[in-house]
Amino acid sequence: MTKLMLRALAGETLPVPPVWMMRQAGRYLPEYRATRAQAGDFLSLCYTPDLAAEVTLQPIRRYGFDAAILFADILLLPQALGPKLWFETGEGPRMETTTTPAQVAALRPAEAVHETLAPVYETLRILSRELPKETTLIGFAGAPWTVATYMIAGRGKDEQAGAHALKSQDRATFQALIDKITEATILYLSAQIEAGAEVVKLFDSWAGSLHGQDFTDFAVAPAARIIAALKVRHPQVPVIAFPREAGDGYIGFARTTGADCVAVDNSVTPEWAAENVQKDGCVQGNLAPHHLVTGGEDLIRETRRVVQAFRGGPHIFNLGHGITPDASPDNVARMIDAVRGG
């Protein structure tokens, strides 16, 4: 029998939606914290296949999610292109900046990323052997705009100002950087599929800061190019796109990019997304992550609201963004029970 996740992605309306969570392998779980301590630091965890596979498997063992997403980081790809990457404790990622034509030109060729990223592919091979037969394996990458914001600013959070400035002041250099990331992302996701990923997802975490023609040029166009290239290489493998906080940009995003599913964040209501986005196919989302911290009747009610809103079409239950480190593991179990009718 085809896996529930793949059935939803193929456009089937199911009586109970498949469920998984963004960042489901993470700091809210004590077993994750123990494995990360064993690795020593975050990048070592990402680049040690046995440990990266272990943390990917932990939420599957605990909760029985319908999908497992590869444990990695969107900044591994730009690191593979050449810029130095490190993580500051309590502050997040830091990256050597790429802001000039010479720096863009000096990035490694897209084909060269595989050497650095070989451990990621080995993690996927381990997972494809060890996951339960009913569990779908998801690979992923950051979308070019979001990756570019990190490469230009050298850090994340709300640091898109540098990317907007470069885009305005030197659009040719900015476009060259987007093209380089796009080319490398096609090769990276294709290699993930060859290593065992059954679905891939593009995370455009900062898509919401793009507007008008910029949204078309730097959120829609790169996604469309990546998805088209992947469909040539792997026509049966579905692609999920997540242009977070896109607002009205969600409307028609599946049609214009070729995505098999559009993930929506919790800045839009599930009812709005059902009316405006689900008409084009599968939708993923979109419970607000704070409910997994606060719990209680609100968690159960809002989980059921999301399920009810999307019940008329293909749907994958998920959060509107990643689960936060202060979430309760018990609340995750309650959410899953509510999705599945408990």
Give the span between the Cα atoms of 226 and 185, in whole angstroms. 7
Sign of CA dihedral 78, 83, 84, 88: negative
Q: Which residues of 66-80 are buried (b: 16+ CB within 10 A; e: fewer)?
A: bbbbbbbbbbbbbbb
Task: Report the C-alpha gap between 16 and 126 in whole angstroms.
Answer: 29
Cα atoms found within 13 Å of the Cα of residue 322, Cβ hemisphere only: 14
Long-range contacts at 261-270 (CB < 8 A, ≥ 24 apart): 261/8, 261/9, 261/314, 261/316, 263/201, 263/316, 263/318, 264/320, 265/320, 265/321, 266/319, 266/320, 266/321, 267/208, 267/320, 269/309, 270/305, 270/306, 270/309, 270/310
* Helices and strands: H and E segment counts in the chain: 17, 9
Spatial separation of the C-alpha atoms in residues 171 and 95, rounded to whole Å: 22
Q: Which residues are catalytic?
A: 23, 27, 36, 73, 150
Q: Encoding tokens for residue 224?
A: 């469309």
From 309, 247, 310, select the one nearest 283 (Cα to Cα): 310
CA distance 13 to 155: 40
- Tokens encoding 281: 């196919």
